[in-house]
A and B are shown apart, each in its own frame.
Chain A
Amino acid sequence: MKKPTTILRELLAGDEPVRAPGVVDCIGARIVAKEGFEAIYMTGAGTTASRLGWPDVGLLTMTEMADNAQRIAEASGLPVVADADTGYGGPLNVQRTVRTYERAGVAALHIEDQRWPKRCGHLDGKTLISVEEMASHIRAACDARHDQDFVVIARTDAIAVEGFEAALERAKCYEEAGADVIFVEAPRDMTQLASIPRQLKKPALFNMAASGKTPFLSVEEIKALGFKLILYPNFMMLAAIPAMHKVLQELKRTGSVKGLVGEVASFQDFFNLLGMDEVKILEEKYLTDKERRVRY
């Protein structure tokens, strides 16, 4: 069986941009796989929201992120691109992060040039580490991987802090340092977006965030610009939020869930999504006769 890291490398080398919808948990992971996407993204903002109920201001630990990534990799069976924030410290921490993510079965991670504790890339008030420090983090990350197909994505948050030109300069240094993919966070307009893939040698990442700072483009438009990997970090989670509100408000208003039955996933769909078919095959294989008589 081909490794997820190799699959991702091959996808990145293809003509079509790789689409990685963002998830926060294994339900999302199963849904992305079922809908037939070729890759999946673990969002740090979403993971922080899901595991802590807090905003994305650098509160989650590497341990928690890697644990979530491992579950998502397992449940989706897809190559996982995982948020690794700043790498969680100096070069030694970055190496530990890469090794932990690699063991978790992740295919790619992105590390950024913010100072810890970081903030969501689309929030204000970010501070940066120096270009030299970040370059050493990238070198440390690349050296730390055991699987040479493991993809190291360098992210720069510099547009908001130092301006677009400086961000592009940083991106070029990060390419030199060995990053496999470049992620320039939160470009503001089409001019900036168009020049990113054009000025870089390595594949460029497009982050289709919900903040509105980056224009909402279609896959065709993103492909035409030359980006190779597209993240949709939080749209699934954001879609679930009004749906969950609606369930509770309906329950409060009518005192019953009856009116919702047609709108939510059926019990059967839910079990099917989670692979009940596979469980049945396993049970066929391993249950004793006595157990089987009781269960079926």
Chain B
Amino acid sequence: MSKASLLRKNLASSGMLIAPGAYDAIGAKLIEQAGFPLVYMTGAGTSASLGYPDYGLLTLTEMAENAGVLARSVNVPVISDADTGYGNELNMIRTVREFESRGVAGIHIEDQVMPKRCGHLDNKEIEPLEKYVSKIRAAVEARIDPHFFIIARTDSRASMGFDEAIRRGNAALHAGADMVFVEAPQSIEEVRAIPERIKGPCLLNVVQGGKTPEINLQEAQQMGFKVAILPGVLLRAAVNVFDQVLETVKRDHVVPAFLNTSTPHQNFRRFGADEWDELRRCYATDSQAANQSEGQLGAKIN
């Protein structure tokens, strides 16, 4: 079963899928190990991991390659930020093929004018509706696997109002999109109105400190959302812990005690050491096999 088919199966059989955001394979694997059914690749996080703010500086190549790294690292489906599709309908076709061919299960594409800005920043420029609809149509028709999941995002709330955002969401569904992502609703009432007024599955973007008030995920599920993405949680957590560790080392010249809880090999096991050890045993020559127990002992002592 393709990851895209698995995503559709999971969507059909459960209330709301919660997808924490990852920007590298470490995050993606931890999300999977924590038992989440879906990984979200955040564009803001991917930009940050390459040393840039989320100002539309990354290229399709960089985004698709990173999404591909996440997709090959986990068994659960990965959905990814694909910004505006990086141009017109032709660029959109290429975008879908680049993500799909890397094993990504779905992408969200938005109606901002390129270069885009983070959905929760001001001064976003929006494409005309008919341009947006034709790009969604191009995306839908570009996929090879009909299960590849197209999420239509609209950023129109800020400059054109909530009704226009709903109109665009429904127009995108009509053009063949599988799910609608109304970005940055500005009140709980608007959040609640999204699944009521959109004539298909809806995605909720849970952003801390953005334009949308804080929402309890239980509540979001009751409102009828089918996917909740939490783009920034791991990046924020990492930044906080990195700062804390660096501060301690700089101030006290010691490694904080809470990092002293596992051996290197235990850490490697979070990233597939058991499978690779099995492979090593499988292909070892006789003399290597004789040495192997020693090697493992070495790893443990480390």
Contacts and interface: CB of A to CB of B under 8 A. Distances in A.
B87 to A, nearest CB: 4
Contact of B57 (A52, A58, A96, A117): A96
B56 A89 contact: yes
A248 interface: no
B94 A62 contact: no
A92 B54 CA distance: 12
B91 interface: yes
Contact of B88 (A52, A62, A96, A117): A117
Contacts of A116: 87, 114
B90 interface: yes
Nearest to B94: A59
A26 interface: no
B55 A92 contact: yes
Contacts of B132: none
B148 interface: no
B115 A117 contact: no
The 10 A-B residue pairs whose C-beta atoms are closest, nearest first, are: A89-B115, A63-B61, A61-B59, A117-B87, A61-B61, A63-B59, A61-B60, A90-B115, A62-B59, A117-B88
A58 B87 contact: yes
Given A57-B90, A59-B90, A92 B61 contact: no
B138 to A, nearest CB: 13
Q: Give the secondary structure class of B's interface.
A: loop
Interface string B82-118: 0000111011001000000000000000000011000
A48 to B, nearest CB: 11
Interface of A: 52, 57-59, 61-64, 88-90, 92-93, 96, 116-117
Interface of B: 52, 55-57, 59-62, 86-88, 90-91, 94, 114-115
Given A59-B87, A89-B115, 9 more contacts: A59-B90, A61-B60, A61-B62, A89-B56, A89-B57, A92-B57, A92-B115, A93-B115, A117-B91
B86 A61 contact: yes
Nearest to A90: B115
Contacts of B55: 92
A89 B114 contact: yes
A117 B88 CA distance: 7
A58 B61 contact: no
Contacts of A61: 59-62, 86
A88 B59 contact: yes
A92 B114 CA distance: 12
Contacts of B52: 96
A64 B91 contact: no
A58 B90 CA distance: 9
A59 B88 CA distance: 9
A57 B136 CA distance: 19
A59 B57 CA distance: 16
Contacts of A57: 90
Nearest to A63: B61
Contacts of A63: 59, 61-62
A163 B86 CA distance: 29
28 contacts: A52-B94, A58-B87, A58-B88, A58-B91, A59-B87, A59-B90, A59-B94, A61-B59, A61-B61, A61-B62, A61-B86, A63-B59, A63-B62, A64-B59, A64-B61, A89-B57, A89-B114, A90-B115, A92-B55, A92-B57, A92-B115, A93-B57, A93-B115, A96-B52, A96-B57, A116-B87, A116-B114, A117-B90
Contacts of B86: 61
Contacts of B61: 61, 63-64
A125 to B, nearest CB: 11
A211 to B, nearest CB: 20
